[in-house]
């Protein structure tokens, strides 16, 4: 598998870099390719076909790298969760939830259970989970309430989109640039999207 993903990465880098250079220098194909014996009426179609091949190679690389992408996402989420900036961001909402739902009282069961273990009292700390919605981020806080009916208490809070995205961007860059395994993962996408952007600009300009 490791060898396969290296081959896919190499194919993507070579093809996309070649196309990006082709577009940057403004190269064009003439009607005669390889020799005078081969005359092509529409040489521009060869470039279009090469971009179709680029899309296929890009898709293949993404398939082989999908597990690494999932691992990268998990590392980012963990880094965000442990970030002091993220903790400061959600702390006011956590405090408000405790006040509104009585979660402080629920957590107090932990101390009481030490004296009366036969009652089975235990603490259920609030669980925050950030959810992505169009143009906003929502923090959903839930807690299991063991006060007799064992219901789930929950409340949604709207989080500052810009503040969270800044925290996410810093975490993403720290991992993507600072970890060789993940920097190698994303480098092949750079020339691929550069070539595609230059192609689109040339076609519609």
Token reading at 111: 């101390």
> Beta-carbon neighbour count of residue 140 at 10 Å?
14
pTM recorded for the entire structure: 0.62
Alpha helices for 25-150 (secondary structure H): 44-64, 66-81, 84-101, 103-107, 109-115
Question: For each of the chain's 205 residues, which pLDDT tens digit applies?
Answer: 566 788 888 999 999 999 999 888 887 777 666 566 666 677 777 888 899 999 999 999 999 888 888 888 888 888 888 888 899 999 998 888 877 765 555 544 455 445 545 555 455 677 888 888 888 889 998 876 555 444 557 788 998 888 888 998 888 888 877 777 777 888 889 999 999 999 888 888 7
Residue 185 confidence (pLDDT): 83
Write down how long the chain is: 205
């Amino acid at each position: 598998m490791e060898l396969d993903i290296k081959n896919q990465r190499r194919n993507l880098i070579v093809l996309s870099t070649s196309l990006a250079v082709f577009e940057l220098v403004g190269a064009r194909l003439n009607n005669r390719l390889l020799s005078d014996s081969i005359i092509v009426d529409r040489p521009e179609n060869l470039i279009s076909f090469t971009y179709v091949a680029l899309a296929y190679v890009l898709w293949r690389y993404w398939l082989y790298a999908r597990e690494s992408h999932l691992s990268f996402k998990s590392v980012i989420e963990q880094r965000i969760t442990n970030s002091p900036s993220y903790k400061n961001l959600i702390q006011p909402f956590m405090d408000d939830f405790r006040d509104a739902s009585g979660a402080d009282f629920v957590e107090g069961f932990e101390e009481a259970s030490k004296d009366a273990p036969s009652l089975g009292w235990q603490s259920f700390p609030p669980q925050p989970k950030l959810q992505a919605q169009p143009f906003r981020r929502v923090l959903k806080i839930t807690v299991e309430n063991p006060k007799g009916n064992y219901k789930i208490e929950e409340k949604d809070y709207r989080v500052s989109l810009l503040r969270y995205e800044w925290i996410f961007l810093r975490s993403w860059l720290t991992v993507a640039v600072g970890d060789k395994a993940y920097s190698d993962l994303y480098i092949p996408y750079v020339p691929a999207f550069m070539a595609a952007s230059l192609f689109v600009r040339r076609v519609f300009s």
